[in-house]
């Protein structure tokens, strides 16, 4: 566990928001106008867009140990993630443009749930629990 925390602290310093831990079917990461195939172990940065195919799915662990799973046909953006590995303070903003998102809060959500937000094309949700599912349909741009 200590090694995992050290790895997360180093990742946060390098500008990494999280890492892909699982990929099923087809999935891509769009970064700075380039579409890259999503692969296990791929680091994710703030601003990255994760797109899953049908079939497809992606499991991501953010630097604060938040677990984000995107289902088939999903598009989400890691809009903002700031995390201090020493104090466990920070904030998370994920935009679910379309599809399904399963979210399990990590250290930020446990310490300051008001600092974790999920946006959809029609709503903004503040986190008050530790695990939930969000689904949205439509173009979502």
User: Nearest CA to 71 among 97, 45, 53?
Assistant: 53
Helices (H), 2-87: 2-13
Q: What is the DSSP letter of 39?
A: -
Tally Cβ neighbours within 10 Å of residue 112.
Answer: 14
Task: Find out whether 31 and 48 touch, Cβ atoms under 8 Å.
Answer: yes
pLDDT digits (tens, 9 = 90+) for 104-136: 999 999 999 999 999 988 876 666 667 777 778
C-alpha to C-alpha distance for 54 and 40, rounded to whole angstroms: 18
Structure tokens of 93?
């903003």
pLDDT digits (tens, 9 = 90+) for 55-86: 999 999 999 999 999 999 999 999 999 999 99
The verdict on domain 2-136 having CATH code 2.60.120 is: yes
């Amino acid at each position: 566990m200590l090694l995992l925390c050290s790895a997360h602290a180093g990742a946060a310093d390098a500008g990494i928001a999280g890492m892909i831990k699982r990929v099923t079917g087809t999935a891509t990461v769009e970064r700075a106008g380039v579409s890259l195939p999503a692969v296990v172990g791929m680091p994710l940065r703030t601003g990255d867009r994760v797109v899953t195919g049908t079939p497809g799915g992606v499991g991501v662990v953010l630097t604060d140990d938040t677990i984000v799973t995107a289902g088939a046909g999903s598009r989400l953006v890691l809009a903002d993630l700031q995390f201090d590995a020493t104090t466990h303070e920070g904030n998370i903003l994920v935009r679910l443009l379309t599809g399904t998102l399963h979210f399990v809060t990590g250290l930020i959500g446990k310490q300051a749930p008001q600092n974790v937000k999920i946006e959809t094309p029609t709503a903004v949700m503040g986190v008050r629990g530790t695990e939930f599912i969000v689904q949205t349909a439509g173009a979502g741009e």
